């Protein structure tokens, strides 16, 4: 009886402590969830791209429960162009809104193609009501004001189950440029990004993920590096993130139309973060691919059951 009474008291004590932590807003260990990353739907008038984008959304909804999918990130080059009465961005949003109706918040991120296609302001106008909806759904939502210097820079961040997701707009605004641009000026993306990282919650190691269209890395290959960041900008990124290396886990990106992984190191060979690149949702062969795997979806299982958040990466070909 004494043993049973001790166990009962221990259970009551544990429950009481957990209740206090919940009331105080402290992170509770043991939560798991998954988020999906899709990239480069390229809804620019192709019926094939539209059909495959719809197939991708179908897969996410169908696998919501079995894979515990709770968020979807769409990493740029979503849509641009179209006729006056039939805009491709509107069509893309209509498809994505099916995720909202299935109670899967989706996070649209602008890409360089929307900008190069003259649809930067249109992107803002179409998704502004959705961002307002996310502000009422996601914790500690923060978004920069637009326009700034005649640019509609889409910078925002939020918290979710112990993770901090920051989504800076590092897309170029110069015609013909497809490389990253930090926009380091008053009111620009870089200064907003630095303030966000400095001030965000850092409750556990590896709790910060950076979601961009263009990956924050260099390859050392001249032609390839025209599509990412310059050496000067990468030094600025690495120097700033070095003190936060235990908090930043990954930079998720699209843009290159391949599935890839690149570790980013400091000059002292200290690991800073991982870059995880996701292929397009339609099937197109892009160097160095010899063949395209089909419809690509990345889903990431998150586990915060310890002092360090862990992420299990899964790349699925859903065309089979």
The confidence band for 10, taking pLDDT boundaries of 50, 70 and 90, is very low
Which CATH number covers residue 259?
3.60.21.10
Are 191 and 102 part of one and the same domain? yes
Are 22 and 78 part of one and the same domain? no
The confidence band for 11, taking pLDDT boundaries of 50, 70 and 90, is very low
**Between 295 and 188, whose confidence is greater?**
188
- 140-160: per-residue pLDDT in tens? 999 999 999 999 999 999 999
Q: Helix (H, G, I), strand (E, B), or coil: what is residue 307?
A: coil
| pLDDT at residue 24, rounded to an integer | 39
Dist CA 183 CA 156 (whole Å): 15
Dist CA 104 CA 317 (whole Å): 21
The backbone torsions φ and ψ at residue 211, rounded to the nearest 5 degrees and listed phi first, read -110, 115
| pLDDT at residue 287, rounded to an integer | 59
Are 156 and 285 part of one and the same domain? yes
Are 94 and 232 part of one and the same domain? yes
Q: Which residues contact 294 (CB under 8 A, 6 or more apart)?
A: 283, 317, 318, 319, 320
Are 1 and 115 part of one and the same domain? no
230 has a pLDDT exceeding 80: yes
| pLDDT at residue 92, rounded to an integer | 98
Contact (Cβ atoms closer than 8 angstroms) between residue 279 and residue 296? yes
Are 152 and 43 part of one and the same domain? yes
Are 48 and 134 part of one and the same domain? yes
The confidence band for 268, taking pLDDT boundaries of 50, 70 and 90, is confident
- If you average pLDDT over every residue of the chain, what do you get? 89
The confidence band for 25, taking pLDDT boundaries of 50, 70 and 90, is very low
The confidence band for 290, taking pLDDT boundaries of 50, 70 and 90, is low
| pLDDT at residue 15, rounded to an integer | 34
| pLDDT at residue 14, rounded to an integer | 35
What b/e readout covers 9-25, taking b as 16+ CB neighbours within 10 angstroms? eeeeeeeeeeeeeeeee
Span 243-263, average pLDDT: 96
Domain, as residue range, for 8: 1-29
- 185-229: per-residue pLDDT in tens? 999 999 999 999 999 999 899 999 999 999 999 987 777 788 999
Please list the residues that pair with 108 across neighbouring strands. Answer: 74
Are 21 and 90 part of one and the same domain? no
Domain total for the chain? Answer: 2
Q: Is 186 exposed, middle or buried (0-12, 13-18, 19+ CB in 10 A)?
A: exposed
Are 96 and 244 part of one and the same domain? yes
Are 106 and 232 part of one and the same domain? yes
The confidence band for 111, taking pLDDT boundaries of 50, 70 and 90, is very high
289 has a pLDDT exceeding 80: no
Cα 224 to its chain centre, rounded Å, is 22
Q: Helix (H, G, I), strand (E, B), or coil: what is residue 219?
A: coil
| pLDDT at residue 222, rounded to an integer | 76
Are 170 and 69 part of one and the same domain? yes
Span 33-37, average pLDDT: 98
The confidence band for 107, taking pLDDT boundaries of 50, 70 and 90, is very high
21 has a pLDDT exceeding 60: no
Contact (Cβ atoms closer than 8 angstroms) between residue 264 and residue 272? yes
The confidence band for 181, taking pLDDT boundaries of 50, 70 and 90, is very high
- 71-106: per-residue pLDDT in tens? 999 999 999 999 988 999 999 999 999 999 999 999
256 has a pLDDT exceeding 50: yes
Q: Is the dihedral of CA 106, 303, 246, 38 positive or negative?
A: negative
Span 162-191, average pLDDT: 96
Q: Helix (H, G, I), strand (E, B), or coil: what is residue 144?
A: coil
Are 108 and 215 part of one and the same domain? yes
């Amino acid at each position: 009886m004494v043993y049973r009474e001790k166990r009962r008291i221990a259970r009551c004590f544990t429950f009481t402590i957990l209740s206090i932590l919940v009331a105080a807003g402290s992170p509770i260990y043991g939560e798991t969830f998954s988020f999906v990353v899709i990239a480069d739907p390229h809804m620019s008038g192709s019926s094939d791209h539209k059909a495959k984008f719809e197939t991708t959304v179908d897969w996410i909804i169908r696998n919501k429960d079995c894979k515990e999918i709770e968020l979807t990130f769409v990493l740029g080059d979503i849509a641009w162009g179209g006729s006056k009465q039939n805009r491709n961005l509107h069509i893309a949003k209509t498809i994505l809104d099916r995720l909202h109706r299935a109670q899967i918040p989706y996070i649209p991120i602008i890409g360089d193609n929307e900008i190069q296609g003259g649809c930067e302001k249109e992107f803002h106008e179409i998704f502004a009501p959705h961002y307002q909806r996310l502000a009422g759904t996601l914790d500690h939502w923060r978004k920069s004001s637009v326009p700034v210097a005649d640019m509609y820079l889409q910078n925002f961040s939020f918290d979710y189950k112990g993770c901090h997701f920051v989504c800076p707009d590092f897309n170029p605004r110069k015609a013909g440029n497809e490389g990253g641009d930090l926009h380091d000026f008053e009111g620009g993306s870089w200064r907003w990004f630095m303030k966000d990282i400095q001030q965000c919650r850092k409750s556990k190691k590896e709790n910060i993920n950076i979601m961009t269209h263009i990956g924050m890395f260099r390859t050392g290959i001249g032609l390839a590096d025209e599509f990412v960041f310059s050496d000067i900008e990468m030094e600025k990124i690495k120097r700033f993130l070095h003190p936060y290396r235990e908090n930043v886990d990954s930079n998720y990106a699209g843009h290159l139309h391949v599935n890839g992984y690149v570790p980013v190191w400091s000059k002292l060979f200290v690991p800073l973060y991982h870059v995880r690149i996701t292929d397009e949702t339609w099937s197109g062969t892009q160097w160095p691919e010899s063949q395209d795997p089909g419809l690509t979806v990345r889903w990431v299982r998150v586990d915060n059951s310890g002092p360090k958040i862990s992420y299990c990466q899964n790349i699925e070909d859903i065309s089979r």
